[in-house]
Chain A
Amino acid sequence: MAEQLPEYRRPWYHRWAGLLGEPRRRWRALDEKQRRQANVVLKVLLVGVLFYISWPLAILIVILFAANFLDPYIPRRTPWARRALIPTIIAIVAITYPFYNGSLSEMKLFGAYPDVNTAVIMGVYVIMAIGLNIVVGYAGLLDLGYVAFYAMGAYTCAWFASVQFAKHNVHFGATDVGSTTPGIHINIWLLVVIAGILTAFIGILIGLPTLRLRGDYLAIVTLGFGEILPQVANNGDNLAGFNLTNGPNGITPIDSPGIFGTSFQTGSGAFFTGPRLYFWFVLLLVAITVFCSLRLRDSRLGRAWIAIREDETAAAAMGIPLMRTKTWAYATGAFFGGVAGAYFASFKSSTFPNDFNFNISAFILSMVILGGMGNVWGVMFGAAFLAYLNQEGLANIGHALNQTFGTHLEVPLYQFGIYGAIIVLVMLIRPEGLIPSARRRAEFHEGVHDTPLYDAQHE
């Protein structure tokens, strides 16, 4: 009875489960030197496991660890070198990926390395996860309807770059679309930006009435919006006689983006193939997103978000306008959701209402949670990893397991259960995620006052 009052006691199974994370008490008991040693042991273990799975992956991690280790030895006069070292390594590895991914040998358990199309999808999910991270990780507002923004972006792209509105005939900078093709055809890059802005606007519209609510109520309201929008899309083939979304048949095909008159669908020559172009441009989008996200985090607005997350009452007392700040978080997160949705729709050349159910919201949320709420690098890792699992990994793992044990389990069928298990395990064992931000970790371990000022119950 009394024992549960000051701080929760970890149940017995956490002792074993803790092996996966850092058993907190034991960790605290170590002194500085022992901690460093433990860190080295953990890293060696990680590299060993990766070596078993696939040596190129292990070498990449070793290089990153080495870069991290060398960091203090770079002369102080060259701050750009210190800041750019690890990103440069990652950028080179990523940009050249289409050239060497075919020659990599298969991973143990995980099978072949993801192909370039999968990598594009991973990139799109990274953008979405970073967008959700702004809402959930920075501002601490749980959004269970993030898929609504993704849907908004996708449908914006679909409306203005397909034959959906065949009565009109509008062409503006579209690549590889004959000028007699009916429908509205606008340049995809323009549409990506328009979709982002429109979605941000929707985010503000949804946010204004709802952001007064406290945490869990807000989660439910966003969930409600996230459920309504796909149903509207599904029933939208006959809204008072007007075919807005083409209903369950979806809108397809959608124009492809282009650059210098080269459509991404066809590509140009053996070097600039379509998938490669998609891949490089999604990398560009990811880079822009990461840059914006990091700069936002350190801006006045970002610090206000973090202050609200940690203690709403104190933040309000310090003069932070709660509603405006939260609405900005919503709008920014929605913007990236819209951008990702528009690019994804163009990549898949289709949108269907079934792409936008609650499961996808929870899927993106589990990316953020797995990687580490609030930390862009962690979220990127979580998103890329889970998107890869979703596309190829689970099928490969299932195949490998079935071959090893002679079972007939359809692993991809249970994908959402697996993501659910990931969510539960991460929340129980390592609530700050795999690659946490130091600040978030402290919050989860020490607890914060999160009694909100705007309490719906008191209104």
Chain B
Amino acid sequence: MATDARRASFSWIGGIRRAGLAPAVGTTLVVLLLLWLSVNLAKTPSNFASVALEGVTLGLVYGLIALGYSLVYGILELINFAHGDVFMLGSWVSFAFAANRLGLGAETSGFKVVWGLGLTLLVAMAFCGLLNVTIERLAYRPLRNAPRLAPLITAIGMSFILQDIGLNRLGPAPVSVPNILPTGAVFSIGGNEYRWSSLIVALTTLPILFLLIWLVQRTRQGKAMRATAQDQEAAAMMGINVNRTISFTFLIAGALAGVAGLLYALYSTNIRYDQGFQLGLIAFTAAVLGGIGNLPGAVLGAILIGLIQQFNEGLSWHAPSSQWTQSIVFAILILILVFRPEGLLGERTPEGG
């Protein structure tokens, strides 16, 4: 905290912060939120529980996307706007491959569904990973030493290009995906069913998350990634191929987006060419909420955002309903960035800011 001298010259903002207005507002908001949740829990406990389960499921899917943002931000300090659209194209590839090429549908038998979806998963991961690497190679790498905002602007441009590719493939209207996963209830809480498809989606994400954390924390390649994130020059001097490490990061991020694309298509059974922008921003909010650049934080933030979204849309007592979801998520984003930019888990970005 060597910033006191700086603050002195802009004293009134510093004054507000020193007076603890920000923590007070934050605490009040959190207390009100908890109060609202507990009233809802008391009024309709079964509804609350099922909504919470759906929230966690949705949050895990968001987590896969959020990890992609977090990985790339951690290594390049770049908000990869195009990531959400890579995810959208992942949905498209999964849909095109599973439903059109393999002919999977609601009536397909169990065994074929298993290998078909496994194959689709691989295809989607490969497609999105390679797409992401290509984008990095073409659009971001030439700008690596340019002013900081240049690659960000390029990323916005790439996002629009990918979105229009999706528009060309999917058309302007939402495309409905057949119910490939079984839709029956696993269990039901007071009449609210938790469906098999939700369970399968949730259970698929967990091993992938652990695999990713193992990859980054334990393997040699993960070590190279962390080193590059901390200091590219020093990493290069230690014999790390920086370009290849960054490409690898983009590959991983893209593959995660592919998984998310498939799971989202199965979960929501509805894909749109502009889903990537909306969900991408929600996932980005999740990454910021958890602390961008911090992998467990991204998942935690995503689960919280998923819960908030589902509570907002599903609870019965004074819930603002889905037409406000986006505003609420962005308000959280703004509040977090303004008051606690390091996120919930409190870690700085790997390079130390």
A residues neighboring B (CB under 8 Å)? 1-2, 4-5, 7-8, 10-11, 14, 140, 142, 144, 208-210, 212-213, 215-217, 219-221, 223-225, 227-228, 231-232, 234-235, 321-323, 358-359, 362, 365-366, 369, 413-414, 416-424, 427-428, 431, 443-444, 447-448, 450, 453-459
Contacts and interface: CB of A to CB of B under 8 A. Distances in A.
16 contacts: A1-B243, A8-B142, A140-B149, A142-B152, A144-B156, A213-B337, A215-B149, A215-B152, A220-B284, A220-B337, A235-B323, A423-B157, A424-B154, A424-B158, A456-B337, A457-B349
The 3 lowest CB-CB distance pairs between A and B, nearest first, are A457-B353, A420-B160, A417-B164
B334 A1 contact: no
A420 B157 contact: yes
B146 A216 contact: no
Interface stretch (B2-10, B123-131, B198-206, B208-216): B2-10
Given A216-B79, A423-B153, A224 B10 contact: no
Q: How big is the B interface, by class?
A: 35 or more
Given A210-B334, A215-B149, A428-B154, 10 more contacts: A2-B236, A14-B142, A216-B152, A221-B333, A231-B326, A235-B323, A321-B9, A423-B156, A447-B145, A453-B6
B160 A225 contact: no
Contacts of B151: 427
A413 B156 contact: no
Given A217-B337, A420-B156, A444-B147, A458 B161 contact: no
Contact of A213 (B161, B167, B324, B341): B341
A329 to B, nearest CB: 15
Given A224-B333, A227-B326, A11 B141 contact: yes
Given A358-B277, A431-B150, A221 B337 contact: yes
Nearest to B17: A459
B331 A228 contact: yes
A386 B104 CA distance: 44
A414 B160 CA distance: 9
Interface in B140-186: 141-154, 156-161, 163-165, 167-168, 172
Contact of A458 (B163, B165, B353): B353
A418 B168 CA distance: 13
Nearest to B156: A362
B141 A323 contact: no
Contacts of A423: 153-154, 156-157, 160
Contacts of B42: none
A217 B156 CA distance: 14
B352 interface: yes
B107 interface: no
B223 interface: no
Contacts of A217: 337, 341
B202 to A, nearest CB: 28
A457 B149 CA distance: 17
Contacts of A228: 326-327, 330-331
Nearest to A440: B147
Nearest to A456: B341
Most buried by B among A220, A444, A447, A454: A220
A424 B139 contact: yes
B242 A216 contact: no
Contact of B323 (A231, A369, A444): A231
Nearest to A9: B142
B207 to A, nearest CB: 31
Contacts of A210: 334, 337-338
A140 to B, nearest CB: 8
Could you say which of A10, A216, A219, A444 has the most chain B C-beta atoms within 10 Å of its C-beta?
A216
Contact of B164 (A215, A323, A420, A427): A420
Contacts of A455: 353
B217 interface: no
A417 B337 contact: no
Contact of A227 (B79, B145, B281): B281
A412 to B, nearest CB: 12
A209 B338 contact: yes
A450 B147 contact: yes
A221 to B, nearest CB: 5
A216 B341 CA distance: 12
B233 interface: yes
A323 B13 contact: yes
B333 A220 contact: yes
Interface in B309-346: 323-324, 326-327, 330-331, 333-334, 337-338, 341-342
Contact of A8 (B137, B144, B324): B144
A239 to B, nearest CB: 11
Contacts of A448: 147
Contacts of B326: 227-228, 231
A216 B177 CA distance: 36
Given A213-B341, A421-B157, A457-B342, A447 B163 contact: no
A369 B152 CA distance: 13
B28 interface: no
Given A224-B330, A459-B3, A428 B236 contact: no
Given A419-B160, A424-B154, A456-B341, A225 B352 contact: no
Given A7-B145, A219-B149, A457 B167 contact: no
B154 A213 contact: no
Nearest to B85: A420
Contact of A427 (B157, B233, B331, B341): B157
Contacts of A416: 160, 163-164
B142 A414 contact: no
Nearest to B348: A457
Given A1-B242, A10-B142, A231 B154 contact: no
A4 B244 CA distance: 12
B158 A420 contact: yes
B77 interface: yes
B157 A424 contact: yes
B164 A235 contact: no
Contacts of A359: 160
Nearest to A2: B236
B149 A216 contact: yes
Contacts of B141: 8, 11
A177 B158 CA distance: 48
A139 to B, nearest CB: 12
B236 A5 contact: yes
Contacts of B172: 413
A190 B77 CA distance: 45
Contact of B338 (A213, A215, A454): A213
B236 A1 contact: yes
Given A217-B341, A224-B330, A232-B327, A427 B143 contact: yes
A444 to B, nearest CB: 7
A142 B3 contact: no
B164 A224 contact: no
Given A234-B323, A424-B158, A220 B79 contact: yes
Contacts of A10: 142
B38 interface: no
A419 B348 CA distance: 35
